[in-house]
Copies of this chain bind each other. A is one copy, B any other.
Amino acid sequence: MVEDTEDVGEAVVGAFTRLGHAVDWQKTRAGSADALAVQDYALIVLDINLPDGSGFDLLAEIRSKGLQTPVLVLTARALVDDRVDALDTGADDYLVKPFDFRELEARARALLRRRQGSATTTLSAGNVVLDPRSRAVTLDGRPVELTRREIALLEILIGQPDRVFSKSDLLDQLYGFENEAGPNAIELYIGRLRKKLAGASAEIRTLRGMGYQIVVNKAPRA
């Protein structure tokens, strides 16, 4: 909470505290910058008129440092241009004084809610990661270039690590019923995958006569 007006600050701090949130109340731009350098906040409520500088500058500073903390701006001026500027400077929301506390609370809830989205839907084995949505594969964070078939095959294997897939299993899943391919095709792609994933902490193992499985290497204790 960055706010230099006593009564507004007290009211807001009181309201959030009653809701069970911990609040730091800073009254200057400098103090706020210091606090932000030390602490990681879930939400910043920022007044624009500060004794030692504009809240806009503080906001710009925050964003230029790459901080993604949601910011809710408070101001006394209701001009449309002010709001547009605030939002384009990197604010997430905007409220004009005087405001209703219920609305402040609601907007704060909406911003906090946003935070915890984005479930991880990626498949991984060791340092090999496959994102089925973008169909991109990375090894230690570095992108690996795979072709469509190679990714399709890897996706099957990595979806159930340690499970053994017979060649006919793989053929059925990779090709429709009609356009079957020879069993060699699988062996071929296994080879190509191994080559492209060299250096990974996961390995495609052959079980003679049974099929293939992907396994994560135990720590090489080297």
Q: Which residues of A contact B (CB under 8 A)?
A: 63-64, 66-70, 80-81, 83-84, 87-93, 100, 102-103, 105-107, 109-110, 113-114, 117-121, 133-136, 143, 145, 147-148, 151, 162-166, 207-211, 213, 215
Q: Are A90 and B120 in contact (CB under 8 A)?
A: yes
| Chain B residues, CB < 8 A from A151 | 210
Collect the chain B residues with CB atoms within 8 Å of residue A117's CB. 68
CB neighbours of A147 from chain B (8 A): 208-210
Least CB distance from A178 to B in Å reads: 20
CB-CB under 8 A from A207, the residues of chain B are: 145
A to B CB contacts below 8 Å, 28 in the list: A63-B120, A63-B121, A66-B119, A66-B120, A67-B119, A68-B118, A68-B119, A70-B114, A80-B103, A81-B102, A83-B103, A83-B106, A84-B106, A87-B107, A87-B110, A88-B110, A88-B121, A89-B121, A90-B113, A90-B121, A92-B114, A93-B93, A93-B110, A135-B164, A135-B166, A136-B162, A136-B164, A148-B208
Q: How many copies does the complex hold?
A: 2
Distance in Å from the Cβ of A39 to the closest Cβ of chain B?
A: 15
Q: Which of the residues B119, B133, B164 comes within 8 Å of A63, measured between beta carbons?
A: B119
On chain B, the residues within 8 Å of A120 by CB distance are: 63-64, 66, 90
Q: Which residue of B lies closest to A100 (CB)?
A: B80
Chain B residues with CB below 8 A from A70, complex form: 114
Tell me whether B164 and A210 are in contact (CB under 8 A).
no
